[in-house]
Structure formats: structure tokens, C-alpha cells
Amino acid sequence: MTKETQFTPTRRGFLGLAAGAGVLAAAGAGQKAEAQIATTAHIVILGAGAAGAALANRLVGRLDGARITIVDGRKEHWYQPGFSLIAAGLKPANYSVSQTTDWLPRGVELKTEMAANIDPEAKTVALGNGEVLRYDYLIIATGLVLDYDSIDGFEMDMIGKDGVGSLYAGPDYAAKTWAAAGKFAEEGGVGLFTRPNTEMKCAGAPIKHTFLIDDIARRNGARGKAEITYFANNASLFGVPIVSEKIRMVFGDRGINHAYNHVVQSIDAGAKRVTFATPDGPVERDYDYVHIIPPQRAPDVVRNSGLAWADKWTDQGWVDVDKHSLRHNRYPDIFAVGDVAGVPKGKTAASVKWQVPVVEEHLVADIAGTSSTASYNGYTSCPLITRIGRAMLIEFDYNNDLTPSFPGVIAPLEELWISWLMKEVALKATYNAMLRGRA
Amino acid sequence: MKDLTFGTLIAVFEEIFGRGLFWVMVGAAVIITLAYLYVLIRDRSVSWHKFLWAQLSMPFGAIAAVLFVQAMTHSSFADIGGPVDVIVLLGVAVAGAVGAAILVYTVESLLWPKKATDA
Ligand SMILES: Cc1cc2nc3c(=O)[nH]c(=O)nc-3n(C[C@H](O)[C@H](O)[C@H](O)COP(=O)(O)OP(=O)(O)OC[C@H]3O[C@@H](n4cnc5c(N)ncnc54)[C@H](O)[C@@H]3O)c2cc1C
């Protein structure tokens, strides 16, 4: 994309001319020229993460007079795709940390509380401090919760010690994960890399971690002493069959073992042993390093509100929405966007980028008294790192079709430097631009 | 990727470098380019003597650009995985080379204006 041009000050001589000439055009073209819709509706957004912040920024530009309230009790905003790099020692913990307030537009009110209860009949949301908000439209963008409690014997303070890693838990835990993983990559031993048996955000992340630690052990000259195994939760390595096969081949090339239908049930950190649930009963494995990713579910506020699917993902509680419009199937004034939405794919920040404009269009159309045909096709993307310096840019939709953004230029199933550059340089910038409603 | 418009591209660049730095760099680039055009117009011809120096600087610019990109992105030549990577690499090198040439030529022309001996 833009990689080849951004680093040399002198090349900017050319870019600069183009950019300089384009500034005036961009100033106009960057913002949508659509007329604002006048309204007094109260829109409540739960969660100021990737999806909530992006939608708030876009709605402010589309609506005139709307009251927009965004609810999030977490002061820090986390750029989660960075966790994979932090847990490989490539970035410091603060690479992923900013403030929630950095991303919110003027004119939006932030409630620094968590939503505690939703009443979709009365159209109210109760906050942790007891305050009750009445809404006309409700956007659920709370992301998901990591259910560490469901792994017997697991305590958060194990992370980073005695060969236990868990990079999902947050930027600091990702850094602690590197302490444990880095030691394994120097000393070798038995490394177990796992994933949960629920839907999960960025299903490529457990695999990226496996490849990165394999590569770092190689660079340390310790790969000969390390035995690395990736444990899939079901009978495939990735939800998209063609990608699963490709990963199997690359695992083969790297000498990474894999096992199917293994789900972590419990851990005994003292004995350095995990127990997997498998179709043939429990299986125990000793480790020198284990990477744990816990089961992932919708937050309690969603699961207890009667808004979740009744007949799908009943142990996980994702919001019961239409997979194309992201509108709630029973309460038309409620939408879900981001990780919490009950759709078959799409738990990535890249999906958020495609989902947010769809919700925006439907919401604005409702307010204007018209209708919208905007539709989300399941687009999900994952720069699947296969070593430091190379990645596969994997993009797909609900049909498990590959949907490359740069067909014929960036091959999706090839390990490329350009795809690594995307992850390392362009992804965070694109993510930030998305948060501001500009991408 | 959705809607890769010019506006998006500018937004992404602003995020990579920070808004202030990005526009300062754009400004610097515009100034260097304008200075280059200025010396071309002032001297009414390309000075082949200076152009020789500019040409000599090109390989250094190319190498510096490639090493800089690699250092910034934890990568090396071994990461080249396919034709598009070679194109990116060459793009970086050409950018560095041309950029260095323009810079050297412009600085030379500004510091040592046209001499009679120049062709
Ligand atoms: C290790 C890792 C690697 C990843 N790599 C990639 C990648 O390479 N590419 C990619 O596209 N995506 C990647 N992702 C996924 C991406 O980060 C998420 O899909 C994205 O952040 C989802 O956005 P969201 O707004 O739904 O949730 P989040 O960004 O998690 O935001 C949810 C917000 O809701 C708030 N909240 C929670 N409960 C409540 C409540 N009750 N009331 C109010 N607010 C609440 C939270 O505090 C949080 O701020 C990765 C994720 C992880 C963990």
C-alpha cells in the first residue's frame, strides 16, 4: 500500500508535491459531504473501544442535535492487535495504551461507568453507580470478556512466571507473557500453544504467537532444544478451510507439531502440567512454556438482559442480531457492533471497520425516516504473522471465501514481507484513523 | 480494506508520524522541491557537473533508504517472500536514490551557483 514511500525524507519531495496539491481537495473530500440530519434522538453507546469510539465519531458528523452518550468505565483504550508484538518483545507495553478520552469527539458525553443492566422494554440502561439512562437507540459495543475463571487452577498472577503466558489479558500481561515466552525461546523445552473452545477475537493470534516464538527460538539458536505444539480446539487449525490447510503446511515447514480437539481444562502451575479435554477423555501434558487463551463470552450485562441468542452460542451469549444489518432481531432500536455481535465471523478490528458504517447507515436512515440497504458481508482480516518480517494477509467473509484487498498484488496465502509491513506499520495507523471515524 | 481514498491515506499518514510531524515533513518536502525547481529555472539548464555529484549520491540514498526501512520494521533481506516484496524493496531504493539526487543537486546549486565553466 503506502509502505514503500513513507520513510525517506527525500522521497517525500515527490509525495509532498502530490500531497500538497491534494490538501485542499482532501480537506473537502475527506469528510463526507452529506447533509446532516436534524434530530433530538438520544443515542446510547455501550463501550468506547474500537467499535464504540469509531461509531461515535462518525455519528457526530452525520447528525445535528442528537444527544450521544457513550458509556465505558475503563480509562485506558487498548490497541489490542499490538499485544501480539508486545508478547514477542518487539514493542513495549505502552505501544498499545492510550486514553479513552483521546478518541472521543466533542459533543459526545462520556459516562465513566460500566453498564450494569439493560431493559430493552423500558429502553433504559442502568450504570454501575445507579444512574439510569433512557435511550431512543442503543448500540452495544462492549467487546467481550475473558473467562479465566473457567480454567481450573488458573490465577492471573501466574502470567509471566514459571512458563505461563497469556497475551490476551492486557498490555502489561502481554509484556509478562514475553518474559515467560522469551525465556523458553532461549532455553528450549516443551512449549504448548493453545486456544479456547469458544468464538474468539482474532482467531489468528494464538497461531501468530506460536510462529513468533518458533522464529525467536530459531534466531537464538535454541530451536533444536525446543519442542513446539499447537493445540486446536476442534478438527481444524483455522475456521476457513483453505487457510487451515495452508497453516498446516507452514507448521510442517517449521517443524511445529499440531494436535486437534484439545481444550485446556485445568492447569497445575506448580507441577507445570495442563490437562486438556479431548474426545478420548482428559489428557495431561507437561510443559516448560504454555500459552493460555481463555474462553470468551459476552459481558454479563448483555447475557442477563435477554438480548442474547436463545438457541445459538448459549454458553457465550452473543447479541441476537441480523448478520447483515447488525440490528437486533427482536428490538429494532438496538444494534450490536464489534466483538459482542452474534454473527458467525467478524471478531477483529478490521471487521469493525466494515461493520461501523453499516450500523451508521441504518441508524441514520431510521432517524431520517428512510431505510438503508447497507450490509455487512462478514469481512474479517488477520495479518497472520509467520515469523518476524513475514506474514500472510488473510481476509475472508461469511462464505469462507478469500476476499483479498489487493488481488493479484498481495497474495493472501503467501508469506510476504509487505504483509508484515502492513501489520507493523500500517495497521495501528489505520486503526487510529478508524477510531477517529476517518477510515 | 474498505474505501482506500486519498482522505483515508492522509489520515493514515497523520497517524503514522503524528499530525504535526507529518505536515512539517510535507512542508519540508514541498520546500525542497520548490528550491529544486527554483534552481532549475534560475540556472535555465541542468548543470551536468552538479548532476554528476547528484548521480553519485544515488546509490547511497538507495541503500540508506532500504536499511532505514528495515531497521524501523525489524526486517531483513531474508524476509523477501515474493515478487511484490521485490517491488516494494526496489520502490524504497528508487525513492531513496531519487530523493538523494534531488537533495544533493539542490543543495549544491544553492551553495555554489552556476559557474561559467558549467556546461
Ligand atoms: C491479542 C489480540 C490480537 C488481535 N489482533 C488483531 C489483528 O491483527 N487485526 C484485527 O483486525 N484485530 C485484531 N484483534 C481484535 C480486535 O482488537 C478486536 O476485534 C476489537 O478491539 C473489537 O472492538 P470492540 O469495540 O468490539 O471491543 P473492544 O475494543 O475490546 O472495546 C470494548 C470496550 O467496551 C468496554 N466495556 C466492556 N464492558 C462494558 C460495560 N458493561 N459497559 C460499558 N462499557 C463496557 C470496554 O472497557 C472496552 O473499552 C486482536 C485482539 C487481540 C486480543
Q: What is the pLDDT at residue B4?
A: 65
A5: pLDDT strictly greater than 70: no
Question: Which of B28, B65, B85 has its CB closest to that of A416?
Answer: B85
CA of A338 to the centre of ligand 1 (A): 7
> Of the candidates A294, A320, A349, which is a domain's last residue?
A294
Residues of A in contact with B60 (CB under 8 A): none
pLDDT digits (tens, 9 = 90+) for A104-145: 999 999 999 999 999 999 999 999 999 999 999 999 999 999
pLDDT digits (tens, 9 = 90+) for B51-80: 899 999 999 999 999 998 898 889 999 999
| Shared-domain flag, residues A200 and A272 | yes
| Shared-domain flag, residues A133 and A75 | yes
% of chain A with per-residue pLDDT over 70: 92
Distance from A88 to chain B by nearest Cα, in Å? 12
**Cβ atoms of A232 and A267 closer than 8 Å:** no
Angle at A381 between CA A375 and CA A383, to 5 degrees: 165
Q: What is the pLDDT at residue A382?
A: 87
Q: What is the pLDDT at residue A44?
A: 98
The side-by-side arrangement of strands in the sheet containing A42-46 is A108-111, A67-71, A42-46, A137-140, A334-336
Nearest chain B residue (CA) to A393? B1
Flag if A429 and B15 touch (Cβ within 8 Å): yes
**Test the B interface: residue of A7, A385, A387 with most B CBs within 10 Å:** A7
| Shared-domain flag, residues A68 and A202 | no
A6: pLDDT strictly greater than 70: no
| A36 domain residue, yes or no | yes
Domain that holds residue A118: 2-144+298-380+429-435
For residue B2, what pLDDT band results from cuts at 50, 70 and 90? low
A356: pLDDT strictly greater than 50: yes
A439: pLDDT strictly greater than 60: yes
| Shared-domain flag, residues A208 and A90 | no
- The domain tally of chain A equals 2
CA of B88 to the centre of ligand 1 (A): 32
% of chain B with per-residue pLDDT over 70: 92
A304: pLDDT strictly greater than 60: yes
A285: pLDDT strictly greater than 50: yes
Tell me the Cα Rg of chain B: 18
Average pLDDT, chain A: 92
**Mean pLDDT across the stretch A295-300?**
98
- Verify whether ligand 1 is closer than 6 Å to residue A350 (CB atom): yes
| Shared-domain flag, residues A196 and A218 | yes
**Mean pLDDT across the stretch A277-290?**
98
> Of the candidates A229, A259, A294, which is a domain's last residue?
A294
| Shared-domain flag, residues A163 and A136 | no
A21: pLDDT strictly greater than 50: no
- Verify whether ligand 1 is closer than 6 Å to residue A48 (CB atom): yes
Residues of A in contact with B102 (CB under 8 A): 10, 13
Q: Which of A37-51, A338-352, A394-408, B12-26 has the weakest average pLDDT? A: B12-26
CA atoms A17, A20, A24, A25: torsion sign = positive
**Mean pLDDT across the stretch A190-196?**
98
A181: pLDDT strictly greater than 90: yes
Q: Which of A153-167, A207-221, A329-343, A422-436 has the weakest average pLDDT? A: A422-436
| A405 domain residue, yes or no | no
Q: What is the pLDDT at residue A10?
A: 34
| A305 domain residue, yes or no | yes
| A106 domain residue, yes or no | yes
- Verify whether ligand 1 is closer than 6 Å to residue A205 (CB atom): yes
| Shared-domain flag, residues A197 and A271 | yes
| A387 domain residue, yes or no | no
| Shared-domain flag, residues A290 and A335 | no
| A78 domain residue, yes or no | yes
| Shared-domain flag, residues A175 and A269 | yes
ipTM of the complex: 0.82
Q: Return the number of other C-beta atoms located less than 10 Å from residue A35's C-beta.
A: 8
Q: Which of A18-22, A70-74, A373-377 has the weakest average pLDDT? A: A18-22
Burial pattern A281-319, b for ≥16 Cβ within 10 A else e, equals eeeebebbbbbbbbbbbbbebbbebebbbeeebeebbbb
Q: Which of A20-24, A32-36, A317-321 has the weakest average pLDDT? A: A20-24
For residue A4, what pLDDT band results from cuts at 50, 70 and 90? very low
For residue A226, what pLDDT band results from cuts at 50, 70 and 90? very high
Q: Return the CATH number at A133.
A: 3.50.50.60
User: pTM of the full predicted structure?
Assistant: 0.90
Q: Return the number of other C-beta atoms located less than 10 Å from residue A372's C-beta.
A: 16
| Shared-domain flag, residues A8 and A106 | yes
A415: pLDDT strictly greater than 80: yes
Counting from 1 in the atom list of ligand 1, the atom nearest the Cα of A84 is 1
| Shared-domain flag, residues A290 and A163 | yes
Task: Choose between B115 and B107: higher pLDDT.
Answer: B107
| Shared-domain flag, residues A57 and A124 | yes
**Among A55, A339, A392, which is best to mutate for testing ligand 1, by the most ligand atoms less than 8 A from CB?**
A339
Burial pattern A112-147, b for ≥16 Cβ within 10 A else e, equals eebbbebebeebebbbeeeeebebbbbbbbbbbbbe
3-state secondary structure of A42: strand
| A273 domain residue, yes or no | yes
Q: What is the pLDDT at residue A33?
A: 53
> Of the candidates A278, A294, A310, which is a domain's last residue?
A294
| A133 domain residue, yes or no | yes
